[in-house]
Amino acid sequence: MTSLSFDVKPASALLAAARPSWLDRWGTFAAGLTFADLPAPVVERAKLVLLDCVGVIAAGMQEPECQALAGRMAETGGSGDCAAIGSGRGFAAGSAALLNGLAGTMLELDEGNQYARGHPAIHVVPALLAAGPRLKASGADLLTALALGYEIGSRIGIAAKLLVTTHPHGTWGTAGAALGVAHLNRADAAMMIETLNIASTLGLATSRRTMLEGGTVRNAYAGVSNQLGLTAWDLAASGIIGETDGIGSVFGGVIATDFRPELMVEELGERWEIARNYFKRHAACRYTHGALDALGDIVAKAGGRIDPAEVAAIEVDTYVWAAQLDGPEPKNMLAAKFSLPFALATFLANGAATPDAFRDGARRDAATRELARRVTVREDRGLTARLPGLRPARVRLTLADGRRFEAEVLTNRGDTEDPYSPDEVRGKFADLAGPVWGAAHAAAIADCVASIDRAADLSTLTRLLSAPAAAGGSV
């Protein structure tokens, strides 16, 4: 073997590499996994994750862009029997998966996993809901595929370091969607591996700047991942093949570095990533949540309300990814959700970081915008060093009369370390889904999901999710 320029490896060396042992182990694990293998806490968390995804999708589907895209796709792609949740329209599987993934990220309320540094479920659930009914899957099948797809996506996120310029949406989530769909199709170990090798090379090269600028194409990344996950399985089932170790190649040198294969199998089947997820109540980027929680503590100490006009300054010390969100003048709703100064200002002005607190009316409020300019955000490298287990923030608020308040949090409310109760997650679903369908229909969906593990098929869930929004439904 001769050496080549630019650190290029000759084909003779590349092609001599054997398939990694972790991938063989994953193929066997994925093919052999049954519902009975899932611990009871994993099953219960998977049901909450499914319910949460349905709620954020239905609410997001009411946004004008989602409504417009659903209309266009109905004209160009035709109808089908897969629901675009909250629209009352049916589409072919790939179109429904794209629309539901897009809608699920519109309000920045979808669940996530702090260790994976991303949002696994919204990259998996739309693909499974599109594939499951056609395959006559049971509710237990759906939950098993969800736990499995969530696990592989999260494990890749844990084992690799995405480039700091890359947005995690649309990357490893494609592998999660594809493996979940492969499991619904009862793929054997060899087909599980082939599907992963194909899916790994179908992910997007996403830009982190989209979220900072308010480039709403970012909301489509998860939808495309779901659509491509379905495609990856179709390719594998048709005889298309991938490379020997697509995940190692892509996440070890194309869009990520420092891939650590041992983390792909560490406590595999014992530690379930879906069981240490987080849920969100603030309708903003999770990096803002620590500071929002601390500000909420300050408001409580001050008697329950602070007039934004009386605030002289707010100072935030936090970790690197939160400190990056220092732009004070967001140009649209998405950018507002990724602006820590605006998030704090609108929290004070509106009493909570609700979806409405980031819409154009709130964003254009002169007093809120002026307050955002009085927010200073700094990185504390000592706080950065506490990632990923903790997400700390210190907030100091000074009033015009000289009074000062300070609060510090180590993690976000809703994280594994400080979780919302199941009733709080169900309350979030009711808050999001009730305005879309009405309280009675939303409650029927919640009841259906709560017992989905005992459902012989997905017909009831599909029927409930196919219902149109109530007149004037919005969030």
- All domains of the chain in start order, with CATH: 17-278 (1.10.4100.10), 286-409 (3.30.1330.120)
CB 456 within 8 A of CB 82: no
Task: Write the single-letter amino acid at 166.
Answer: T
The pLDDT score that the predictor gives to residue 224 is 98
**pLDDT tens, the chain, 475 aa long:** 567 887 888 888 878 888 999 999 999 999 999 999 999 999 999 999 999 999 999 999 999 999 999 999 999 988 999 999 999 999 999 999 999 999 999 999 999 999 999 999 999 999 999 999 999 999 999 999 999 999 999 999 999 999 999 999 999 999 999 999 999 999 999 999 999 999 999 999 999 999 999 999 999 999 999 999 999 999 999 999 999 999 999 999 999 999 999 999 999 999 999 999 999 999 999 999 999 999 999 999 999 999 999 999 999 999 999 999 999 999 999 999 999 999 999 999 999 999 999 999 999 999 999 999 999 999 999 999 999 989 999 999 999 999 999 999 999 999 999 999 999 999 999 999 999 999 999 999 999 999 999 999 999 999 999 999 996 555 5
CB 417 within 8 A of CB 389: yes
Burial class (CB in 10 A: 0-12, 13-18, 19+), 371: buried
Q: How many CB atoms lie within 10 A of CB 223?
A: 29
Per the structure block, which two tokens stand in for 242? 């991938």
**Which residues have C-beta within 8 Å of that of residue 67, sequence separation ≥ 6?**
61, 87
Residue 313 DSSP SS3: strand
Q: Against a cut of 0.85, is the pTM above it? A: yes
Using only the alpha carbons of the chain, give its radius of gyration. Answer: 22
Distance CA 230, CA 184 (A): 11
Residue 280 DSSP SS3: coil
Strand boundaries in 65-183, DSSP class E: 82-84, 89-91, 161-162
Q: Which residue has the tokens 């709560």?
A: 450
Query: Please, which residues bridge with residue 379 across strands?
Result: 318
Distance CA 203, CA 173 (A): 8
Can you list the alpha helix ranges (DSSP code H) found in 257-355? 289-301, 320-323, 333-337, 340-350
CB 341 within 8 A of CB 331: no
